[in-house]
Amino acid sequence: MQLGMIGLGRMGANIVRRLLRGGHECVVFDVNPDHVGALAQEGATAAMSLDEFVRALTRPRVAWVMVPAGDPTEQTIMALSQRMDADDIIIDGGNSYYKDDVRRARALKERDIQYVDVGTSGGVWGLERGYCLMIGGEAHAVAHLEPIFKTLAPGLGDIPRTPGREKLGGTAEDGYLHCGPAGAGHFVKMVHNGIEYGLMQAYAEGFDILRNAISQDLPEEYRYNFNVADVAEVWRRGSVVSSWLLDLTAMALAEDPTLSNYTGFVQDSGEGRWTIMAAIEEAVPADVLSASLYARFRSRRAHTFAEKLLSAMRQQFGGHTERPTGG
């Protein structure tokens, strides 16, 4: 079927490529004409303006917006909706806050434009492996888009079936899922990313403990000089901590077990923060997910005011003068 894509960064462009390979027709637009041109050469229909983009789409139009979350997404969707008609569908495929989805869906609903939010996981691997799609919106709009989702998702592949799944039915094992009304897709994607932070931090702390086993303040016979690349590799085989993130860890450590090219400054995106806010709104204890987020915050500071205050209290109480020594 036909789909329009606005935003041809890595994610948007690869989604278009996977759709083209699947036999779909794609109209593409981006503020950068080079990106448009590149995909036109791969078979997409180029649009050089938003107006042209909308005109090139057949009604009911389907437009996937894949631009940065926040203001760019908000403005693109609003500009787009002003050019669209009843029964057209706007998909927000970015990393929006689910509360923004609810608000936008309600606004568009007044003009009978459908709003569908799609949380997308797959990273740079998605083009080949397929994307895991978490979808929110009205059932009939989601149903209309099913050919798109089927092509983008990984499908059953060679991943073993979950026992009992055959009785449950549904599309989850194809790799896409209608999670609920507007916002539900991004809510599930938000929690997905919150979990991702937690998983990453669990591995990170574990490997930190392995790496520092040699410098332990213990007698020599309790210190170990572990080959962390080999440890990551062996855990991929038959161990309960095997996972895709461990596969990626093994790749990084195989390249350089000291990770000396990485600064250790770690960014965070909105989803990790929103996950904690949702936990607080639900009164759910989320110790691990919070600690994972805070580890990233801390990684981006040389020192916190908090730490200086600790030093200051120690000085005032015990006359301790802190000296910068190793850990």
Give 30 or 101: the residue with its C-beta nearer to a second copy.
101
Q: Is 271 a catalytic residue?
A: no
Chain positions 59 to 98 lying near a second copy, rule: CB under 8 A, are 98
In the numeric block, which tokens belong to residue 26? Answer: 């794609």
- Residues 95-122 as b or e (16 or more Cβ within 10 Å = b): bbbbebbbebbeebeeeebbbbbbbbeb
User: Any idea what DSSP says for residue 172?
Assistant: G
In the numeric block, which tokens belong to residue 154? Answer: 């990984």
Nearest distance in Å: CB 320, a second copy: 7
Nearest distance in Å: CB 272, a second copy: 9
Given 173, 189, 221, 255, the catalytic residue: 189
Give 37 or 123: the residue with its C-beta nearer to a second copy.
123
Q: Is 221 a catalytic residue?
A: no
The burial of 224, by beta-carbon neighbours within 10 Å (0-12 exposed, 13-18 middle, 19 or more buried), is given as exposed
Among the listed residues 46, 57, 54, 59, the one whose alpha carbon sits nearest the alpha carbon of residue 8: 46
Chain positions 223 to 242 lying near a second copy, rule: CB under 8 A, are 224-227, 229-231, 233-242
DSSP, residue by residue, 257-304: TT-TT--------HHHHHHHHHHHHHT---HHHHHHHHHHHHHT-SS-
Size of residue set near a second copy by CB under 8 A: 164
Sequence-distant (6+) residues with CB within 8 A of 192 are: 119, 121, 134, 271
Chain positions 162 to 201 lying near a second copy, rule: CB under 8 A, are 162-165, 168, 170-177, 179-184, 187-188, 191-192, 194-201
Bridge partner list, 119: 134
Given 25, 74, 146, 196, the catalytic residue: 196
Spatial separation of the C-alpha atoms in residues 120 and 154, rounded to whole Å: 12
Give 57 or 148: the residue with its C-beta nearer to a second copy.
148
Nearest distance in Å: CB 32, a second copy: 18
Among 122, 137, 141, 145, binds a second copy (CB under 8 A): 122
Chain positions 10 to 49 lying near a second copy, rule: CB under 8 A, are 10
Per-residue contact track with a second copy, 308 to 327, x per CB under 8 A?
xxxxxxxxxxxxx-xxxxxx
Give 12 or 154: the residue with its C-beta nearer to a second copy.
154
Active site residue ranges:
189, 196
